[in-house]
Each structure stands twice: as structure tokens, then as C-alpha cells.
Amino acid sequence: MTATDAHRAIEAIWRIESAKVIAVVARMVRDVGIAEELAQDAFLTALAQWPEAGVPKNPGAWLTTTARNRAVDLLRRRKRAERKYEEIGRELESEEAAMPDLDTALDDDVGDELLGLVFTACHPVLSTDARVALTLRLIGGLTTDEIARAFLVAEPTVAQRIVRAKKTLGAAKPSFEVPRGADRGERLASVLQVLYLIFNEGYAATAGGDWMRPQLCEEALRMGRILAGLAPQEPEVHGLVALMELQASRLKARLGPTGEPVLLLDQDRGRWDHLQIRRGLVELAKGEALTREPGPYLLQAAIAACHARARVPGETDWARIAALYGQLAALTPSPVVELNRAVAVAMADGPAAGLAIVDGLAGEPALAEYHLLPSVRGDFLAKLGRFDEAAVEFERAAGLTRNERERVLLLSRAEAAARGEVA
């Protein structure tokens, strides 16, 4: 293996193992920033040693042990928590005495530690932007540059968010433990929100020249699967993973030959990833088996499943989708949910029924700059033959979106409406 090949292999291993290494060290030193530095130090040591010595049989355990040793040295130098240091030292001595079982020992402990890091990265004391950036950095293993490019944000801006997040956590002194009791539900909701925000930005980019950014979808899904493995008794975790799997199954069909958006009803369903659909349906079943009262992610996953099960658009159970959106609206009232319900109602009962719901949302402040409101209204108006009004709505929607691909699509629909056509 050449040095270049070795470095690539080490970088790939680091992307997979870094979150576990940081999690273990963070629980020791109680500081995310220091934990990341120590983990990076272990990574640099691997880059120096492995090309010559070869990749260890258990690279994750090697990185974790190296970082833990650095942490022990740090605790000793600072003369902090002597009792804790002695305990850590005894643990390391026993691990070294049973080196062949080191992987098993680490795997036994790392679950709670990694889950604790996930909760810490999504701590409520942080802003949403900071939670997203820190989660992608610590759990996703993305570089600052990769995060910046994914969200079309300047790299220094992302770097500042991460630095401020670490300082905020340092001041808050989180426990790095998995939350228990009443606090757990609220904290878990924050984690799920962050993962879904990351996924959605990949699935339908807010701004820029690309309709989608699949890397973000892949990262959110990877982290979601990890979370489902760490918290298998949480129905909403399975619900979110199911939702992301089912939506991600359509990614290849959502783009045309030149990168233009292809809407759901126009997609070639033969291009949907049916293995991913099966995985999503399995996760949905797991979540539903754990509760009699599905939460918002399980309900949204059930909606996605209705689309996934339909071989052709005409087989879609729109009445069930409308009912599920009704449940979702009762659980988490939102004008965006109501707008989605309007689409389902229109498909089940006709565009006039959907338009009545949409017109009732016209005064909602939360939708004042939301481009999908005039877009949906334009669609209903065009289907009702009110083409001039539809063209105006599509043009308004095009003026509100910040995504170039979507703007082109909406303007083409406006032109079609002006010609008296339903696009």
C-alpha cells in the first residue's frame, strides 16, 4: 500500500470512528473542544505511524485508546480529579492486560458515550444553526469546509458557529450523559429536529443552484441509523429514520436529465430505490409497534409510506394521506402542515376543496414569505381553469424562492398557465 493509499484509508476510518473517539474522551474531560483536539491528535498519530506499521486489526480501538491515553496525561498534568484519574488508570491497565478483548470492551461502553455526545451536540442552550454545525462536525465527521459548502455559507461563519458552540457548552457544563426522566423527551426532540433539518436541506435545498444536496441526506440518514441503534426503544427515532429512508428512496427520480426538478407525480417510480423503501417500511413497523400514539415523525413516515406503496400515482391513497395530515395537524398545529393537508384533500376531493383550505391560510404570518403557498394555490387555480390567476401565483412563488432550479420550474409553470395549460 502506498503512502497516499494509506492516508486515504486512514481518513476513511477516521470519518467512521471519529464520533466514537470524541464521545469517549468528552465524557472523560467534560469539554467538547478539548475532546476533539485529543481525538485529532490520535488521528495525526495514526497518519504518522500506520503507513509504516500498517493499519491495526482494530483501528477504532487503537484510535480510542490513543486518545484516552492523551486525556489521562492531560488530567494528570492539570492535577484535576485525582480520584477520577486513578479510576481511569485502573480501567486502562485492565484493558491493556486483556488487549485481544479491547474492541468488545470499547463497544460495550461506547454506546452510551456516543449517545451522550449526540445529546450534547444538540443541547438546547445552543442555537439551531450551532446545533446543526456541531452535529455535522462531531457526529458526522465533516470538515468545516464541507459543512460550509453544503449549506452555501462562508467557511469562517461555520467556524465561528462551532467555536461559539463549544464555548457555550463549556460555560453550561453539560453532563455528557444520556438524559433521563422528563428531560429526555425534550432533549430527544431537539436531536431529531437537527437531523431532520440537515436531511431536508439536502432533500430540497433552500438556496443556490442545486435542487438537492444528496450528501446532507446521506449524513442525516447515517446519523439517524446510528441513533436508532443506540436508542432502539424510542418510537420517534424509528419514525424519523423511516421517513428519511422513504424520502431518500426518491432522490434519483427527483432530477431530470439536466438537473431540473421532477415533481412527485411526474417521477419515474422505476428509479425509486426499492431496497431503501423496504428499509423504511421496516423502521416504520418498528416504531409503530412501540407506541399506540404515533408522534409527528411516525405520522410523516406513514404518509411517505402511502406514496412508496403506490406503484403508479393513481394508486396513491390520498384519503388516508389527508387523514394522517389531519392527525399531524392536531398533534403539532402548523400552517405548513395545513398546506400539505390541502394538497392531499385536493387530490382526494378535487382542487376546489384544496383551494378552500389554502385561501384560509392567506393571512398566516408564518407563510407570508413561503413560496410554496402561492405555488400550491397556483396549481389548484390552473386545475380549475383559472389560468390568469394561476400565472400570477406561480410568478409570485418564483419571486419568493431562493433556489435557482425551483425558480426556473415555477416560471415555466407560469408560462404554461398564461398559455392556458396545466403544467
Structural domain contains residue 5: yes
| Residue 51 pLDDT class (50, 70, 90 cuts) | confident
- pLDDT at 319 (0 to 100): 97
Q: Say if residues 262 and 253 touch (Cβ distance below 8 Å).
A: yes
Structural domain contains residue 26: yes
Sign of the dihedral through C-alpha 245, 344, 302, 220: positive
| Residue 198 pLDDT class (50, 70, 90 cuts) | very high
- pLDDT at 105 (0 to 100): 41
| Residue 383 pLDDT class (50, 70, 90 cuts) | very high
95-103: average pLDDT? 44
29-34: average pLDDT? 88
pLDDT tens column, 312-324: 999 999 999 999 9
Structural domain contains residue 16: yes
CA atoms within 13 A on the CB side of 377: 23
Give the total number of structural domains in the chain.
Answer: 1
Task: Identify which has the larger pLDDT, 198 or 8.
Answer: 198
Domain that holds residue 13: 1-109
The 3-state secondary structure of the chain, one letter per residue: CCHHHHHHHHHHHHHHHHHHHHHHHHHHHCCHHHHHHHHHHHHHHHHHHHHHHCCCCCHHHHHHHHHHHHHHHHHHHCCCCHHHHHHHHHHHHHHHHCHHHHHHHHHHHHHHHHHHHHHHHCCCCCCHHHHHHHHHHHCCCCCHHHHHHHHCCCHHHHHHHHHHHHHHHHHHCCCCCCCCCHHHHHHHHHHHHHHHHHHHHHHCCCEECCCCCHHHHHHHHHHHHHHHHHCCCCHHHHHHHHHHHHHHCCHHHHECCCCCECCHHHCCHHHCCHHHHHHHHHHHHHHHHCCCCCCHHHHHHHHHHHHHHCCCHHHCCHHHHHHHHHHHHHHCCCHHHHHHHHHHHHHHHCHHHHHHHHHCCCCCHHHCCCCHHHHHHHHHHHHCCCHHHHHHHHHHHHHHCEEHHHHHHHHHHHHHHHCCCCC
> How many other CB atoms are there within 10 angstroms of residue 76's CB atom?
13
Structural domain contains residue 39: yes
Task: Identify which has the larger pLDDT, 183 or 368.
Answer: 368
Task: Say if residue 54 is exposed, middle or buried (CB neighbours under 10 Å; 0-12, 13-18, 19+).
Answer: exposed
- pLDDT at 93 (0 to 100): 57
- Range from 14-23, 129-138, 187-196, 278-287 carrying the lowest mean pLDDT: 14-23
pLDDT tens column, 276-303: 999 999 999 999 999 999 999 999 999 9
Distance CA 268, CA 248 (A): 15
| Residue 72 pLDDT class (50, 70, 90 cuts) | confident
Structural domain contains residue 408: no
- pLDDT at 79 (0 to 100): 59
Measured between alpha carbons, how far is residue 251 from residues 24, 149, 247 in Å?
35, 20, 7
Distance CA 286, CA 243 (A): 13
Structural domain contains residue 273: no
Structural domain contains residue 355: no
pLDDT at 233 exceeding the cut of 70: yes
Structural domain contains residue 93: yes
